[in-house]
């Protein structure tokens, strides 16, 4: 016998009193989002989402490894971690539904610091059309860590494995600026403002990926988190093709061209600097070229054919005669001392 009206879940989540839950309440939306793809929003034991294929990826960022507090504001830390996770949705051409955020932070950060990190995460999700679906907040002994799970709808995901020999290899945007910022900061140099912007606020290419996928262009796709050299190697391995890159075609970010010590150094940053969060994809020979201008008009970023898929495996430099030479560099690897 239900003798009174329970709290309306559409008014937002209801948690018990307590310092931890006061903190969580500050993150959560006041009013549940009325959208058909979120059946249960944040505040219960699980969120429940619906769609024709739910794409999922997680991305952990750790203080002292992925970011430093003297390089970024707390909001930027949350925003950047979220952008990195959303970039994986872009890589399969998914439409964002939302994010789950797990945050481990030292006791001293429990108050406003946590709110600021979560605010950055929430804003990055919302600017991509997603909502905060849930999360976990806990104590950490020393270093802040944030793990973002990106959730999207992908009825027709573009995989890494679809490239065929003869396909063209394309990249969005311009490469190397985030890596340049890291090197400038480590060297104690005054960082380039444009490079800082690319590092602190990467823009996952979500709309761009869907534009391309809706037109059927990408045969295989990956996002550039570790650098073109390393990430193209995954696409190569998954598709069973070699990726042949033409050095003169690589779209190097202007900040890199301004500051790099040499042309070789600029190429190194563009291929192995990492954290660009652009897309690399393959498309059938000649298919995309007629539409590249339309893409650039629509999104205001470059779209560049950087090479071809060929027989064999691995990622190589190639010249006009088709001769292959080793790249001589690799993407960022977490368990080697490269930085």
- Return the range that interacts with a second copy (CB under 8 A); candidates 48-56, 170-178, 267-275, 296-304: 48-56
Distance CA 97, CA 108 (A): 32
Q: Which pair of structure tokens corresponds to residue 105?
A: 């932070």
Size of the site for a second copy (CB under 8 A): 101
Site for a second copy in 114-133 (CB under 8 A): 133
Q: Is the CB of 173 or the CB of 192 nearer to a second copy?
A: 173
Q: Considering only residues 74, 79, 83, 100, which one is a binding residue for a second copy as defined by CB under 8 A?
A: 100
In DSSP notation, 130-180 reads: -EEEEEEEEE-SS--EEEEEEEEE-SS---GGG--TT-EEEEES-BSHHHH
The C-alpha angle 82, 83, 86, rounded to 5 degrees, equals 85
Distance CA 97, CA 128 (A): 9
Q: Considering only residues 76, 147, 276, 278, which one is a binding residue for a second copy as defined by CB under 8 A?
A: 147
Q: Which pair of structure tokens corresponds to residue 207?
A: 């709309």
Q: Is the CB of 55 or the CB of 305 nearer to a second copy?
A: 55
Q: Pattern of binders to a second copy over 51-90, x per CB under 8 A?
A: xxxxxxxxxxxxxxxx---------------------xx-
Minimal distance, residue 105 CB to a second copy, in Å: 9
Minimal distance, residue 112 CB to a second copy, in Å: 13
- Return the range that interacts with a second copy (CB under 8 A); candidates 69-77, 147-155, 190-198, 320-328: 147-155
Q: Is the CB of 78 or the CB of 259 nearer to a second copy?
A: 78
Q: Is the CB of 197 or the CB of 207 nearer to a second copy?
A: 207
Site for a second copy in 259-318 (CB under 8 A): 311
Minimal distance, residue 193 CB to a second copy, in Å: 28
Distance CA 271, CA 245 (A): 10
* Rg (the chain; Cα; Å): 21
Q: How many Å from the N-terminal Cα to the C-terminal Cα in the chain?
A: 65
Q: Considering only residues 116, 127, 161, 296, which one is a binding residue for a second copy as defined by CB under 8 A?
A: 161
Q: Considering only residues 110, 115, 257, 301, which one is a binding residue for a second copy as defined by CB under 8 A?
A: 110
SS (H, E, C) 55-86: EEEEEEEEECCCECCCCCCHHHHHHHHHHHHH
- Return the range that interacts with a second copy (CB under 8 A); candidates 115-123, 181-189, 236-244, 259-267: 236-244
Minimal distance, residue 324 CB to a second copy, in Å: 16
Q: Considering only residues 28, 43, 178, 183, which one is a binding residue for a second copy as defined by CB under 8 A?
A: 43
Q: Please, are residues 127 and 92 in contact by the beta-carbon 8 Å criterion?
A: no
Minimal distance, residue 255 CB to a second copy, in Å: 26
Q: Helix, strand, or coil here: 243?
A: strand
Any residues with CB less than 8 A from the CB of 33 and at least 6 apart, and which?
Answer: 41, 131
Minimal distance, residue 210 CB to a second copy, in Å: 14
3 near a second copy (CB under 8 A): yes
17 near a second copy (CB under 8 A): yes
Between the CA of residue 15 and those of 12, 26, 150, what are the distances in Å?
10, 11, 24
The residue among 74, 63, 67, 82 whose CA lies nearest residue 121 is 82
26 near a second copy (CB under 8 A): no
112 near a second copy (CB under 8 A): no
Q: Compute how many other C-beta atoms are within 10 angstroms of the C-beta atom of residue 102.
A: 16
94 near a second copy (CB under 8 A): yes
39 near a second copy (CB under 8 A): yes
* Widest CA span in the chain: 82
């Amino acid at each position: 016998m239900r003798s009174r009206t329970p709290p309306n879940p559409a008014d937002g989540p209801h948690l018990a009193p307590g310092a931890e839950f006061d903190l969580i309440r500050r993150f959560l939306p006041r009013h549940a989002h009325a959208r058909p793809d979120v059946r249960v929003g944040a505040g219960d034991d699980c969120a429940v989402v619906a769609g024709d294929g739910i794409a999922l990826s997680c991305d952990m960022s750790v203080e002292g490894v992925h970011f430093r507090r003297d390089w970024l504001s707390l909001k930027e830390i949350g925003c950047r971690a979220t952008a990195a996770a959303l970039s994986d949705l872009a890589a399969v051409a998914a439409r964002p539904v939302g994010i789950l955020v797990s945050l481990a932070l030292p006791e001293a950060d429990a108050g406003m610091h946590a709110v600021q990190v979560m605010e950055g995460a929430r804003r990055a999700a919302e600017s991509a059309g997603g909502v905060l679906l849930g999360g976990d907040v806990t104590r950490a002994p020393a270093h802040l860590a944030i793990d973002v799970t990106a959730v999207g709808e992908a009825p027709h995901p573009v995989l890494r494995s679809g490239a065929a020999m003869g396909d063209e290899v394309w990249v969005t945007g311009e490469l190397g600026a985030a890596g340049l910022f890291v090197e400038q900061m480590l060297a104690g140099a005054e960082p380039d403002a444009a490079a800082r912007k690319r590092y602190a606020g990467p823009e996952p290419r979500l709309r761009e990926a869907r534009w391309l996928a809706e037109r059927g262009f990408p045969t295989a796709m990956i996002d550039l988190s570790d650098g073109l050299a390393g990430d193209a190697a995954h696409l190569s391995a998954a598709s069973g093709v070699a990726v042949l890159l033409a050095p003169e075609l690589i779209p190097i970010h202007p900040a890199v061209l301004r500051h790099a010590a040499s042309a070789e150094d600029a190429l190194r940053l563009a291929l192995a600097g990492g954290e660009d969060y652009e897309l690399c994809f393959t498309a059938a020979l000649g298919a995309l070229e007629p539409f590249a201008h339309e893409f650039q008009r629509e999104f205001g970023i470059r779209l560049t054919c950087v090479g071809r898929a060929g027989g064999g495996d691995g990622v190589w430099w190639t010249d006009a005669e088709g001769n292959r030479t080793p790249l001589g560099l690799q993407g960022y690897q977490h368990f080697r001392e490269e930085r």
